[in-house]
Structure 1
Amino acid sequence: MDVLINAFVALHIVGIAALLGGFLTQTKAMSAGTATFSPAMLHGALTMLLTGMVLVGLNQADGATVNNIKIGVKLAVLVVILGIVYVKRDEEIAPKPLFGAVGGLTVANILVATLWT
């Protein structure tokens, strides 16, 4: 079971990397006002959602204690990120405040995952 959990943790990190990497590659374009939400950002957020749900289920099935409040906060932040990226994915130019919000919320989600004990 540990190997399976670790595999999904790795996939979860790949999703975070795709979302944050998509944001970071567009920061120069954001300052110029030409940033767009890339498909990698949407796919990264969806990967995070799917692997996160699987991880919660696997950890509960393994008998580990799951902090449901922490998971709820992470889920709420991710749903906001997904909503923004999904709705604005086809626009030629992403609004600066929304694009910045996605980056900030992604970093916030990482901080919640790592610092909340």
Structure 2
Amino acid sequence: MDVLIHILVALHIIGIASLLGGFLTQMKAMGQGTARFVPAMLHGALTMLVTGVALVGLHQAEGHTVNNIKIGVKLALLIVILGLVYVKRDDETVDKRLFGLVGLLTVANIFIAVLWT
């Protein structure tokens, strides 16, 4: 079971890297007002959702305690990110503020994961 959990954690990190990497590659375009949500951002957010839910389920199945408030906050942020990216994925350009919000929520999700103990 530990191997499966480690694989899911690695996939979860790949998902966040894809989401954040997609955002960072569009930073210059955001400054010019031509940023768009790239497919890597959508795929990264979906990967995070699936692996995150699986990780919580596996931890609870093993009898470990899970901080449900932390998981709920992270899930809420991820659902907002996923919703914004999914709805605006086909738009040629996305408003700077909306694009920046996705980046801010992504970074907030990372800091919550690392710092909230």
TM-score by length of 1: 0.99
Deviation at 1:86, TM superposition (A): 0.5
- Unpaired runs of 5+ residues, structure 2, are none
Q: Which residue of 1 aligns with 2:9?
A: 9
Instruction: Count how many residue pairs are aligned between Structure 1 and Structure 2.
Output: 117
Query: What amino acid sits opposite 2:110 in the alignment?
Result: I
Deviations 1:39-72 (A, max 9, x none): 0000000000000000000101111110000000
Q: Which residue of 2 aligns with 1:48?
A: 48
Deviation at 1:110, TM superposition (A): 0.3
Q: Distance in 2 between matches of 1:62 and 1:5?
A: 11
| Local SS of the residue matching 2:65 | coil
Q: Which residue of 2 aligns with 1:64?
A: 64
Task: State the superposition RMSD in angstroms.
Answer: 0.5
What's the % identity of the aligned pairs?
Answer: 75
- Unpaired runs of 5+ residues, structure 1, are none
Q: Distance in 2 between matches of 1:31 and 1:83?
A: 23
